[in-house]
Amino acid sequence: MSHAVNVSLVHGWVPVVLQALTLAVVLAAIGWRSRTWRLRWLPVAAAAGVAVALACHWIVTDQGLADDPAPVLLWAWVGVTALAVVVAVVGWPRTRWWRRVASVLAIPLCVACVAVLVDAWTGYLPTLTDALGRVTGAPLPTQTDEAGVRDMLQRHVHPAAGTLVSVRIGADASGFRHRDELVYLPPAYFAGDTPPGLPAVVMAGGEFGHPVDWPTLGGARHTADAFAAAHGGNAPVLVFVDTSGEFDDDTECVNGVRGNAAYHLTKDVVPFVETHFGTSTDPSRWGFVGWSAGGTCALVTTLTHPELFSSFVDVDGDLGPTAGSHQQTVARLFGGDESAFAAFDPATVMATHGPYTGVAGWFAVSTAGTTSYHPAGGVAPSGPPDAGGPDGRLAVASYLCPLASSYGIACSVVPAADGHDFGAAGRAFAAALPWLAGRLGTPSAPAVPLPGGAPAA
């Protein structure tokens, strides 16, 4: 891969040059023109830009589309984009040809600036390589399908690194419409003629995304490969699932009006992986890792199904399913049914299903703080925290972990001053994998204690 293709879309020269070029083109499109233009039409264009920027800001905030506030510069470029459209329309008559060209070019350039700033805000596509790969849909390195896996086993192929398998999992049990998903098989999977019954880990991303995000943007494939290389080719089988069905459908991993995402994981994915890849069927050897909304998903799914999962890693999860305020969440995800919401609220689920035996968790937080360990049987916290503000995620984890502890779940809160993006999620996964792999009984992986003073399990 050339260095030119691997340039950053988040930092460095690309965002700066793009915005400078776009600003120059927009100014050329506006021009000085006539007195009428300056006193009538330019103020109209500016007012339209302000109105659109404010409207978009209100929509994102009202719909609960993001946990972190967007940078002010993003809203500025949203407004400039609207201004550019108005300038192109009302300024088209009686102007020079080159200014018309500038007004046409300004619009896609402004849209590109908005896209780059959204990307910088979310960290979703860090490099041009990532963007091109998503646009083209090209297979990832070492990616194959189930037929390819069978062929590798029959030919006794022993890959040096893990293999990614594209799978099309049925939805007969859930009815959930979803995209193709991915399974990571470590080198040890191909050591014999039949699958060795390895442990498995389900991995879920945030509210917006694609199953390919964890192995690429989160670096989970490379993390698992590095772990396998240090443990005789052994690592858990990783299952990169689709909890949304499409990029912008925020199901929050629940069963509700946006689809039965939770049933898809427990009734479609788990049986499929056990049957098609010969993984262990012992719940003590199944784990769940998730980031952001996926972190909440990892926690809630383990809490509601301890007969399927014994361990979870919750990276920057919320207090519960979140799609705006509580009232908005209940309305948007559950059609106004409070009892349906309660079935996926961690505190309510723990009170209903607890106490637990043999369940443990790791709460990773992208906020600076002190690591703390809470053994099973601890004291419950006094009440829910204020989840807002810069320390909101730490407050959430510092509430949920002691609460889980009071219901028999040993856990640790592991803060790290990092970003709320897939890169940070990948680093949190890399930190948690030795503990998780050891706890799930991965061959050659020793038991590793939870951080903060826990004894080895």
CATH top class, domain 139-439:
alpha beta
Closest among 236, 254, 355, 362 to 303, alpha carbons compared: 355
Q: In sequence order, what DSSP letters do the residues of 34-101 get, joined into one string?
A: -HHIIIIIHHHHHHHHHHHHHHHHHHHHHTT--SSPPPHHHHHHHHHHHHHHHHHHHT-TT--HHHHH
Identity at 23, one-letter amino acid code: L
Q: In sequence order, what DSSP letters do the residues of 259-294 get, joined into one string?
A: EEHHHIIIIIIHHHHHHHH-----GGGEEEEEETHH
End-to-end CA distance of the chain: 43
For residue 264, what are its two tokens? 């898809």
pTM: 0.83
- E strands within 316-435? 360-365, 372-374, 410-415
How high is the pLDDT of residue 456?
A: 61
Torsion of CA 42, 43, 49, 51, to 10 degrees: -160
Burial of 33 (0-12, 13-18, 19+ CB in 10 A): middle
**Using CA atoms, how far apart are residues 407 and 376, in angstroms rounded to an integer?**
7
Q: What is the pLDDT along the chain (457 residues), one digit of tens a residue?
A: 444 456 777 777 888 999 999 999 999 999 888 888 888 889 999 999 999 999 998 888 776 666 667 889 999 999 999 999 999 999 998 889 999 999 999 999 999 999 998 888 776 677 777 676 666 556 667 789 999 999 999 999 999 999 999 999 999 999 999 999 999 999 999 998 888 999 999 999 987 788 999 998 899 999 999 999 999 999 999 999 999 888 667 899 999 999 999 999 999 999 999 999 999 999 999 999 999 999 999 999 999 999 999 999 999 999 999 888 899 899 999 999 999 999 999 999 999 998 999 999 999 999 999 999 999 999 999 888 876 666 789 999 999 999 999 999 999 999 997 888 888 999 999 999 999 999 999 999 999 999 997 676 5
- 234 near 225, Cβ under 8 Å? no
How high is the pLDDT of residue 135?
A: 65
How high is the pLDDT of residue 9?
A: 76
How high is the pLDDT of residue 1?
A: 43
Residue owning tokens 């003629």 = 193
**Using CA atoms, how far apart are residues 201 and 163, in angstroms rounded to an integer?**
15
Cα–chain center distance at 369: 22
Closest among 52, 62, 189, 213 to 123, alpha carbons compared: 213
* In the chain, domain spans: 13-128, 139-439
